[in-house]
Structure 1
Amino acid sequence: MANDASTVVGTHSDPAAPLTLATAWRPIIAGSIGNTIEWFDWSIYTAFALYFGPQFFPSDSETAALLATFGVFAVGFGMRPVGGLLIGLFNDRVGRRAALTLTILMMALPSLVIGLLPTYASIGIAAPILMVLARMVQGVSVGGEYGAAATFLAESAPRSRRGFYSGFMFFSIALGLLFASALAWLLTSMLSKEQMIDYGWRIPFLIGSLGSFVGLWLRRSVAEPEAFKQQKLHAGPVRHPLRTLWREHPQALRRMVGISLLGAFAFYLFVSYIPVHAIRTSGAAPTVAYAASTLALAIFMVSQPLFGMFSDRWGRRPQLILFALGYLLLLYPVISMINASFTTILAVELFGLLFYGLYSSIAPAVKAELFSTDVRALGIGLPYNLVVAIFGGTTPYLMTWLQSLGHGDWFLFYVSGAALVSLVAFWRMPETNGQSLR
């Protein structure tokens, strides 16, 4: 019976076909579960950096130790294009399910290593070196995961429900972030600062590594999407995928850069920057700032499938244009209004995350609709991760550095420039809703 259900899901391509739990849940969960686990693992690094950073990157200055820790965060992001390339090639050649299995394994093992890793005081320079290597492997994993999950969700969806399916990608990412945030709140409430420094920070890494094996089991039980099976049956893998991608999809590659640029900033700006900004510049209590951020993230999570459904009905371009236009015109004035109150911080967070949600909910569908099946995972994974590595990966470091100089507002002008570039890309792109992926 399980195989029959998988087959129905894999071949579901009738635009008029009804969407039911029986046809939707298997690919949605399989495509999304890895994102929850991977982004839990990925985000706990920044959430607990204050406790473990000085133990691996000792310094007389707390800011210098924190910058070194975020530097490793940037190094991990630097490996994302490698993951987009290598796992994209593997995905298009071997299969969607195999790629999803590989990415989750590459997140689980480094998390286990970090959770058990001795500190600088115990093993000297080997401690930061091993930390960097573990983060590099995780960076490859996260880079491969985006293209793998986006491709799998888009190819598994009925043509008229592709936006809805894609909405679960960032739903699952937000869920992972909420788990990380909840665990951070729980541990810091139960343990003293000394206990957190001693052993508390290791707990989430060990939990993340165990959770990855649940995701591995779920992903191994799902069928290949029909679009990939037909490609493999009738044409097989291309001989020179990078050359094919460059020669046959040059316009799609340029669009990928413009489409991805603003999104690379927006996510980290409102998940990482705003709570810290409210605490440092407005005197907000940490509990108030993070409570508002957590509630906004929960609302963002619920909005994702809904925004995906809207795009299936009214198209992709209107949502994308509204996203970029909202950031271009309102980002600076809205963030300038922030103060120490819960209501104001929540309103600012909701502005940023819900406007961003117009894009994130349909990004997997939009990007999948730009490329042919034979190079789809590579076409999504490589350019997207290059943009994120260059711009998104340096965001925490750049924000921390500008804040230390007293020029935190400069970053907002930087993001506004990215909004203008993405707005032009959205305006010029064709409507792709309902397009066949075969």
Structure 2
Amino acid sequence: MHSWGWRIPFLIGAGLSLTALYLRSHMAESVAYTKDKGRSVKKASGTLKQLFRYPKAVAMVVGLTLGGTIAFYTYSTYMQKFLVNTVHLTKSQSTLITFVSLLIYAALQPLFGLLSDRIGRKPLLIGFGVLGTLATVPLLTALSHTTSQWQAFAYIMLALVIVSGYTSINAVVKAELFPTEIRALGVGFPYSLTVAIFGGTAEYVALSFKNAGHEMYFYWYVTGCIFISLLVYLTMRDTKHTSLIDHS
């Protein structure tokens, strides 16, 4: 199993990618895209020059993403190392806890999305921002001192429920900020940059603080980033009511 088992996820991923390709090739395009594509007079679209016409929306994508991506990476990719290095669980225990918690977390996403369709995007984002700001330090501190696998699972699951207020709707919120002709670049460029700079480095920042003997500084770092995003959530309009999804 140790010599060939690592190939299994890649085989599953290959099969799922073919499924996604089939589904995508048979999906109907949105009405806005079809109208925009069928225009007799074509205008330049999807360029950086055009993107600069939406500086507020670009800044909002960065602000929306900052806290959410750090929280997500903390409780997903970094958590297994945290459970081993700080909580001192075995690798098999930490792997099982991470797998089960992320599996449940994935199942929660459509439920939070459904809730967002009923009450709007902004309440969920504010809920994540407030709870993330208040609970990150207590949760990670409690998790670092636990000796029970079940307690560790409960703390991580609680954190992931909070993060779901962001991850379940972050894609649609950002898409609703831009019209059709610039949406892919408008969302993709600032989002990818923010994830790479903050989400992608979260693990290294955490380990740097730990190696320096100040692991709790990372807890406050995550809290600070979520708080910055909370300020954006509080001042933004609810994109459910101002959506540009069908605007071409």
Instruction: Using structure 2 for the length normalisation, give the TM-score.
Output: 0.88
Residue 302 of structure 1 corresponds to which residue in structure 2?
A: 107
In the other structure, the counterpart of 2:189 is 382
Aligned to 2:237: 430
Match among 256, 273, 285 for residue 78 of structure 2: 273
Alpha-carbon distance change, 362 to 203 in structure 1, aligned in 2, over 3 angstroms: closer
Residue type of the alignment partner of 2:100: L
CA distance in 1 between partners of 2:227 and 2:25 (Å)? 42
Q: 1:392 aligns with which of 199, 217, 238?
A: 199
Q: What is the CA-CA distance between 1:324 and the residue it aligns to?
A: 1.0
Q: Superposed, which structure 2 residues align to 1:130-169 within 5 Å?
A: none
Q: Is the 8 A contact 1:279 1:340 kept in 2?
A: no
CA 380–321 in structure 1, closer or farther in 2 if over 3 Å, else same: same
1:357 to partner: Cα distance? 0.5
Change (3 A) 1:419 1:240: closer
Deviation per CA, 1:393-432: give whole Å up to 9, x if none. Answer: 1123333333333333222111111011101100110112
**Structure 1 residues 35-74: aligned runs within 5 Å:** none
Distance in 2, matches of 1:200 and 1:315, equals 43
CA deviations over 1:262-291 (Å, ceiling 9, x no partner): 112111100122332222222223333332
| Contact 2:46-2:185 at 8 Å conserved across structures | no
Q: Give, in angstroms, the shift of residue 320 of structure 1.
A: 0.5
The count of aligned residue pairs is: 242
**Paired residues of 1:316 and 1:362 also in contact (CA < 8 A):** yes
Q: Does 2:167 correspond to 1:360?
A: yes
Contact 1:268 1:395 in 2 (8 A): yes
Q: Could you tell me which residue of structure 2 aligns to residue 48 of structure 1?
A: none
Please list the CA deviations of residues 149-174 of structure 1 after superposition, one character each: whole Å capped at 9, or x if unmatched.
xxxxxxxxxxxxxxxxxxxxxxxxxx
Q: Assess if the C-alpha contact under 8 Å between 2:45 and 2:182 holds in 1.
A: no
More helix by share: 1
1:335 to 100, 118, 140: 140
> Which amino acid in the other structure matches residue 50 of structure 2?
T
Code of the aligned partner of 1:260: T
Q: 2:211 matched to which residue of 1?
A: 404
Please tell me the root mean square deviation across aligned C-alpha atoms, in Å. 2.1
Amino acid aligned to 2:44:
V
Task: Tell me by how many angstroms 1:391 deviates.
Answer: 0.9
Partner Cα separation in structure 2 for residue 433 and residue 207 of structure 1: 35
Deviation of 1:210 after TM superposition, in Å, equals 5.0
> Residues 341 and 228 of structure 1: is their aligned pair in 2 closer, same or farther, counting only changes over 3 Å?
same
Contact 2:71 2:226 in 1 (8 A): no
Corresponding position of 1:152: none
Q: After TM superposition, list the pairs within 5 Å mapping 1:206-245 onto structure 2.
A: 206-209=11-14, 211-234=16-39, 236-238=42-44, 241-245=47-51
- Whole-angstrom distance in 1 between the partners of 2:29 and 2:175: 16
Change (3 A) 1:271 1:313: same
How far does residue 309 in structure 1 lie from its aligned partner after superposition?
A: 1.3
In structure 1, stretches of 5+ residues that fail to align are 1-189
2:228 is matched with 421
Distance 2:185 2:45 in 1: 14
1:351 aligned to 2:127? no
Measure the CA separation in 2 of the matches of 1:401 and 1:386: 22
Secondary structure of 1:262's match? helix
Q: Which has the larger radius of gyration?
A: 1
- Asked if 2 retains the 8 angstrom alpha-carbon contact of 1:368 and 1:376, the reply is yes
Unaligned runs of 5+ in 2: none
- Of residues 94, 107, 116 in structure 2, which corresponds to 1:289? 94
State the one-letter code of the partner of 1:226.
Answer: V
Contact 2:178–2:244 (Cα < 8 Å) also in 1: no
Residue in structure 1 matched with residue 180 of structure 2 by the alignment: 373
